[in-house]
Amino acid sequence: MTDQPTAFERFTQGILPENPVYRQLLGLCPVLAVTNSMQGAMTMAGAVLFVLLCANVIISLIRDLLKPHLRIVIFTLTIATFVTIVDRFLAAYMYQMSKSLGPYIPLIIVNCIIICRCEVCASKQSVLTAASDAIGQSLGFALALASIASVREILGTGMFFGFRVLPKMWPDWVIMVLPPGAFLTFGLLLGAVNWVVAKKKANG
């Protein structure tokens, strides 16, 4: 266990150095699908935080009982349960948001970030480490979603979080709220991140 990162390391790694979206390229389906508005993106980030935190804690609690060949089944079972809870909860208390996010909340089940964290961290480390790992990774995910969604929402609608930030005469770039805008924005931002990382490495 000595070579495993500590709880604090897990937390900080998830935010930037091992950002799930920009560095690991995981969970790209919601990254592309729900980032046309900040509200949707942040709801998605919150849902992922809840699911990841709960799944990591549960898996970490039962980590000594896991059998290697049955662990994936248990991961999936746990994740699916919490995703269903989030889905029902949104439908009950945030009906419009749940309608606009559509199938992407249920699709958190197949979001690789979560099963990856269960496998990499929660099934091997203590509850505290697993929880801080979940929070760190979720924050990294939220940051990534926010970066893409703010570009798309501002250019596409002239608004941010539903509030107008650009003058009314701003011509909305409709393409930015459509799927091509997601690919373009994500591609350009990913390129920028890689450029920064490469530059940092070159400087030592």
Partner 1 sequence: MNTSQQTVPDSKNRLKDLFIFQAWLVLLLASFFGAALAGIQLTLSPKIEANKLNETLEKVPELILGADAAQAFIDKNRQMEIDRQFIEAGKKIYSVFQAKTNGQTAGWVVKSSGQGYAGKIELLIGVDAKSEEITGLFILDQKETPGLGNKIMESVWRKQFINKSTQQQLTAVKTKAAAPNEINAITGATISSKSVCGIVNQSLENLRQPLASAALNNQNPSDNQPNNNQEKK
Partner 2 sequence: MSDTNLKKQSLPNKIKPDETGEAPVIQVGHSPHLSNESFTTRRMMIDVLIALLPVVGMSVYIFQLYAVKQMVICLVACLAAEAAFIKMRNKSFSLSDCSAAVTGIILGLSLPATAPWYVGVIASVVAIGIGKVIFGGLGMNLFNPAMVGRAFVMIAFAGLMAASGYESLHTGIDAITQATPLNAFKQMGISTSIKDLFFGLTNGSPGETSALACLVGGIYLCIRRTASWEIPAGIIAIVLIMGGLADLMGSASDWTVLHHLFSGSLLFGAFFIATDPVSSPLTAKGKFIFGAGIGFFIMILRFFSGYPEGVMFAVLLMNALTPLLNRWTIPAAMGE
Contacts with partner 2 by CB under 8 A lie at 171, 173-176, 178, 180, 184, 191
Q: Distance between CA 60 and CA 57 in Å, rounded?
A: 5
Which one of partner 1, partner 2, none is in contact with 180 (Cβ closer than 5 to 8 A by kind)?
partner 2
| Sites for partner 1 among residues 66-85 (CB under 8 A) | 66-67, 70, 73-74, 77-78, 81, 84-85
The C-alpha atoms of residue 169 and residue 24 are separated, in whole angstroms, by: 39
**109 vs 189 by CB, closer to partner 2:** 189
Contacted entry of partner 2, partner 1, none for residue 85, CB cut-off 5 to 8 Å set by kind = partner 1
Tokens of 89: 């909860």
61 contributes a contact to partner 1 by CB under 8 A: no
Interface with partner 1, residue 100, by CB under 8 A: no
- Coil vs helix vs strand at 163: strand
Look up residue 161 and give its two tokens.
């979080």
Binding mask 16-55 for partner 1 (x = CB under 8 A): ----------------------------------------
Q: Which does 25 bind (CB under 5 to 8 A by kind): partner 2, partner 1, none?
A: none
CA dihedral 180, 29, 23, 74 (to 10 degrees): -170
Residue 67 binds which of partner 1, partner 2, none (CB < 5-8 A, kind-dependent): partner 1
Q: Which of residues 21 and 47 has its CB atom nearest to partner 1 in the complex?
A: 47
Long-range contacts of 173-182 (CB under 8 A, 24+ apart): 176/36, 176/151, 176/152, 177/36, 177/37, 177/152, 177/153, 178/36, 179/32, 181/36, 181/152, 181/155, 181/156, 182/31, 182/32, 182/33, 182/35, 182/36, 182/148, 182/152
Binding residues for partner 1 (CB under 8 A): 62, 65-67, 70, 73-74, 77-78, 81, 84-85, 88-89, 91-93, 95, 172, 174, 177-178
